[in-house]
Every structure is written in C-alpha cells, then in structure tokens.
Amino acid sequence: MTASRTQARMVGINHVALEVGNLDEALEFYGQFLEIRFRNRFSRMAFLDMGDQFIAVAQHDNPNSDEERHFGLVVDDMALVRRRLKELGADILDTSGLEFRDPWGNRIQIVEYGDIQFSKTDAVLRGLAMDDLTKTDAARQELADKGMGEDAD
C-alpha cells in the first residue's frame, strides 16, 4: 500500500445479493438457464458459485423490484440464455443487448465473456472447464489499451 494514495482501487466484485420471494422457486427459475453450483445453502439464502466469485440469493418477505439498478452477469453463451428465457416466457426487456427481470423484479443484464474486457485467469477458466473461451478482437483491444492484453507483462 502506498501512503500517498487517497483512494482504494476497485479490483472486482466479490458477490451480488438478490432478494427473492421464495428461495426454492428462485433456484428452480435460474437453474432452467444457468448451471447452478452451490457454495453454500441455508433455509433462506443460497450462495451460487461463479468461479472465484458468487451470487447470494436471499429470500425476503417483500423483495423490491429494480427499475434501472441492475448487474451484468457474464456467461459463455448469451444466445443460449436468450433462447431459454424466451422458452420460459421471462420478462425480456426491450434493450439493445439482453436484459430481463426475474419473477421478483431483479433486473439482470446478460453479457457474453468473449465480447467484454472482463477476464478470468487461465487457472480459473480451467477450473470452470471453460478454457476454450476466446475474446473478440474488440475485447482484446480494450484489454490491450489498458495494459491488460495477452502480451502484457
């Protein structure tokens, strides 16, 4: 740590917490289009692994609907998620990408790993059995512009 710094640097997100009306129904809903791996499960809360991060899903008696507040969930196959959400009759929002509301009003944006600067280490990708994922040229350039490209030291 440098004494001259006055702000901490953001490194990443440890987890996101979602409020839902019924935990079992929420896990069933999300399990229809996302592979669910539990970190831990309690009577009113579950922690779902995403490699080196997780999502906390908490049962709440009065969950709040989000209008603009949302989070972006990175997936390996956005087209698959879109297809499954349509099959489920999910509330897909009219946006340029893929955003939807779950049955409890949580607004979630789906982004594909290959299209964005977000990156996982080779070790994490291997651990997730996703070491075949690649980035688009635009995503690689965005990383390179920030000194985080494949050739960065």
Q: Domain with 47 in it: what CATH number?
A: 3.10.180.10
**Torsion angle of C-alpha atoms 124, 127, 131, 136, degrees rounded to 10:** -40
Give the CA diameter of the chain: 54
User: Is residue 129, in this structure, part of any structural domain at all?
Assistant: yes
Domain hosting 57: range is 15-145
Whether residue 152 lies inside any domain: the answer is no
Residue 85 lies in a domain: yes
* Residue 128 included in any domain: yes
* Residue 92 in domain: yes
In a domain, 56, yes or no: yes
**CB contact at 8 A, 109 and 72:** yes
Domain tally, the chain: 1
| Tens of pLDDT, residue by residue, the chain (153 residues) | 556 888 867 777 878 999 999 999 999 999 999 999 999 999 999 999 988 889 999 999 988 877 778 889 999 999 999 999 999 999 999 999 999 999 999 999 999 999 988 888 889 888 888 889 899 999 999 888 888 887 654
Residue 96 lies in a domain: yes
pLDDT of residue 153: 45
On whether the CB atoms of residues 67 and 101 are closer than 8 A, the answer is no
Q: Is residue 23 part of a domain?
A: yes
